[in-house]
Each structure stands twice: as C-alpha cells, then as structure tokens.
Structure 1
C-alpha cells in the first residue's frame, strides 16, 4: 500500500511540473532576442498574464527605428508592445502596467502624447517613468516594459 501511495504521489508531482502555468515565448512580431525571452506568459485560469521584457525601438528585423528621433523611437516601442499583446490574443485595453525608462525626463510630454495614441486614455494602465543615464545602446533613448492580462475566450 505504501509503495502504491508513493507511486501516486510521484506521478502527481511529475505531472504537476510538466504542466507549468509558465510559458516563455518570443513572438514573431518582434525581433529575436539574444539570451532572453520577450514574454513570460502565465496561465491564471480564466486569463493569461503577459510579462513583456523591456522593448526598445527595434523593428522586426532588429534595425533601429528613429535614430536621433525620440518620437519615432517611442512610437516603435509602443508598436512592439501592441504587436506582442495582439499576437498573444489581446489588445491594448488589456495593458495593465508599463514601466518607462528614458534618458531625458524633459521628453515626458512626448511619451505621454505617443502613449495616448495607443492606450485607452479614459482607463489608462498603471505607469512608472524613470530617468536613466544610459540604456543598452547609446542610440536607444527609450525602453518600456509592460504587463498585460488577457482574458481567455
């Protein structure tokens, strides 16, 4: 009897681990990253939470968009976030939180103007903005990470 109980517990444990609620995904709509995943998708039962790695102004081929153009870079970053959320089955109304990293806080109004073209301004996501001295490349002026919660259909 003890042996059967141990077998059942071990089988249950292995099945539980093999059915992890976490999937690491690199969407087709953005460039392929090196050494990390663009999203961590977490099954919440009736919804999926999407944790989106910091997005920078690179197009699908990995080329910088908007060299020396803060508005163009910001638009590309929000486009990447929108494409990732849509590829996961959601829309920008499912955006729950954004964290914005910019190298020049005086550009905050540009960020707000671009953001407001992408989000529901009547019910905007939670947001944090941080000025940083440097991002991963000298020609990148903005990076945004995001969280979305997409209801299952």
Structure 2
C-alpha cells in the first residue's frame, strides 16, 4: 500500500487544535504544489461583495479560493495550508461566525495547517478578511 499523497498530523506533544479547526502539520508526500495568492471578498469585476458584512465576505473569500484551486486542477480537499489575515476592525465576537462557512468548503476531518493573524488593515478599504492557500494536487 502506497503512502497517501497528503498527511495531516497533530502530535500529542503539541497543544491539541481547538475543535479540529486546523492541523499542526500538513505533510505532502507527492503531487504538485500550488500557491494561491490571498483571496479577498471581491468578485471578478473587482466589486467588494458584502461590504461591512463579515459573514458575506468570508463566503466570497472561500468561493474565490475554490475558483482558484479548481483553476489549478485541484479541489478544496487539496488545500494543505491556509493563512488568514483579519482586519483589526472586525469585532472578535464575529470571528466564530467564520467556522460554519469554512466547514462547508474544507475537509473538517483533515483540516489544513493554518495561521490566523490580525492586521491593522488590508490593502483596500472595505476588505475585512484575506486568506491565502497552499494546495497539493495529486498528479
């Protein structure tokens, strides 16, 4: 039996990821690595979707990530790493609203390795969240 193309590892010697929101390690054993630039809540025309609405922006960002990974020949399950950038203006009480949206797009049994940071602002006024990704697509 061959090794899986991707392994998601959470060593017991590291703090347990909260409610399986992320994996500590995403190991790629084979495949094509794809780097996806930070995706924001704008549509193809550049219009901000959900201005002032955190949940609507998260939905658009994940929809854009899906478009990007599929354009590279993959699927959302191929994502092995996510980097979240949250604008400081977002109320921390709203952040948990992101999880159900994320869970509709990602493999919650094998979540990608992730980093989540708060930044003073994003490049364009009105953007509340930006997410970049790394995918490992099976050859």
- TM bucket (normalised to shorter chain) is 0.7 to 0.9
Q: How does 1:38-53 map to 2 (within 5 A)?
A: 47-53=31-37
Q: Partner of 2:71 in structure 1?
A: 87
Within a 5 Å distance, the mapping from 1:25-104 to structure 2 comes to 47-103=31-87, 104=90
Q: Which has the larger radius of gyration?
A: 1
SS of the aligned residue for 1:80 comes to helix
Question: Unaligned regions of 5+ residues in structure 2, if any?
Answer: 1-27
Q: Residues 63 and 78 from structure 1, CA distance in 2 versus in 1: closer, same or farther, beyond 3 angstroms?
A: same
Q: TM-score, normalised by structure 2?
A: 0.73
CA RMSD of aligned residues (A): 1.5
- Misfit runs of 4+, over 2 Å: none
Counterpart CA distance in 1 for 2:37 and 2:69 is 12
| Greater fraction helix | 1
Higher RCO, 1 or 2 (CA under 8 Å, sep at least 6)? 2
Aligned to 2:122: 135
**Is the contact made by 1:105 and 1:131 (CA closer than 8 Å) also made in structure 2?**
no
TM-score w.r.t. the length of structure 1 is 0.67
1:61-80 alpha-carbon deviations (Å, 9 max, x no partner):
11111111110111111111
Unaligned runs of 5+ in 1: 1-43
